[in-house]
Amino acid sequence: MENFENGAESQMPAGENINFESRLDLRKLQDSIVAVKAELASVIVGQHKMVDQLLVAFLSNGHVLLEGVPGVAKTITAKLLARTLNIDFGRIQFTPDLMPSDILGTSVFDLKKSEFEFRKGPIFSNLILIDEINRAPAKTQAALFEVMEERQITIDGQSYPMDAPFLVIATQNPIEQEGTYRLPEAQLDRFLFKISIDYPKLDEEIAIIQREHNLQDHGKLDNIKTLLSAEDIKQYQSLVKQIIVEPHLLEYIAKIVVNTRENAFLYLGASPRASIAILNAAKGFAAIRGRDFVTPEDIKEAAIPVLQHRVIVTPEREMEGLTSTAIIKTILESVEIPR
């Protein structure tokens, strides 16, 4: 093909012109992803799937819900990712007494100017870590609806857009439910991924202990390099949108999502927003693997973290111990893979 592009076209009969579809140059993006993963791996042991999914979410301009028991590196991973990026980072600890104004900001009367002045809250940043999102009551959680979906907030009739890039990483503990407020479906639907973090394996546990012992008086984040700017991220996000997706793969995504609505084991299926989320995430998985086109494997890899928090298992099946993840895996096995 390279030889054809370099000269063979001139040998075509006069009047014939073949337009070759331009391919995307993903080398810089892939090099950046490898460098960021190397920095994270210097502190985080294992959790390769979680790291990949976090990076895909960033490239796809989507928010992430990290779910795992305390101590499995949810918070430190978000802080590490922020350290590798030359962008603003904010952390909000959700508590039962937290008010929407504590997140978004509030209007304060300026006596000198005799007018109200809006003071921005901690949500005005590029990467926001919300610790224990299910600790805050419903009205505080609802304050995130607009900013997560539209990248803006509205206070006193005035809209304030967020600076790009803007990504929310929220954490929650799936075990401890005392003093928590379940996230409503509308809130869950605004997260591109729900990433479930498991306990490390034995060899990984040993490596974690060894690294902690070797640190001595040094902090975990002391030697982390800043690799990407806000402009780099926006450029990569724009590049990922241009990843090629064949029509039959779009149909494959649609069949998977529609199957969740028709599945007898699910009380609630996924919405069209889930279809778009799978599409965007599949492009991200293709990009970090250096491909300018999506494959069925990319779609299958995106489907579980995209769908598992968007569907609800029927009470009968839930009592039997069946999970949304298991049902989604069954759906993926039943939907014919396009060839």
pTM equals: 0.83
What is residue 329's predicted lDDT score, i.e. its pLDDT? 93
pLDDT bracket for residue 13 (50, 70, 90): very low
Cβ–Cβ < 8 Å for 162, 200 = no
Cβ–Cβ < 8 Å for 175, 69 = yes
pLDDT bracket for residue 320 (50, 70, 90): confident
Number of residues assigned to the chain: 339
Burial of 50 (0-12, 13-18, 19+ CB in 10 A): buried
Encoded tokens for 193: 């991924």
pLDDT bracket for residue 210 (50, 70, 90): confident
pLDDT of 23 above 80: no
What is residue 169's predicted lDDT score, i.e. its pLDDT? 92
pLDDT of 331 above 50: yes
Distance CA 79, CA 88 (A): 11
What is residue 228's predicted lDDT score, i.e. its pLDDT? 85
Cβ–Cβ < 8 Å for 286, 292 = yes
Q: What is the mean pLDDT of residues 217-230?
A: 77
Cβ–Cβ < 8 Å for 96, 102 = no
Q: How far is CA 176 from CA 3, 67, 123, 249, in A?
A: 62, 12, 26, 40
The residues near 327 (Cβ < 8 Å, ≥ 6 apart) are 263, 265, 266, 311, 313, 317
pLDDT of 305 above 70: yes
Number of H helices, E strands in the chain: 15, 13
**What confidence tens digit (pLDDT) does each residue in 266-300 have?**
988 888 999 999 999 999 999 998 888 999 999 99
What is residue 179's predicted lDDT score, i.e. its pLDDT? 66
**What confidence tens digit (pLDDT) does each residue in 102-146 have?**
899 888 877 777 777 888 889 998 899 998 888 888 888 888 888
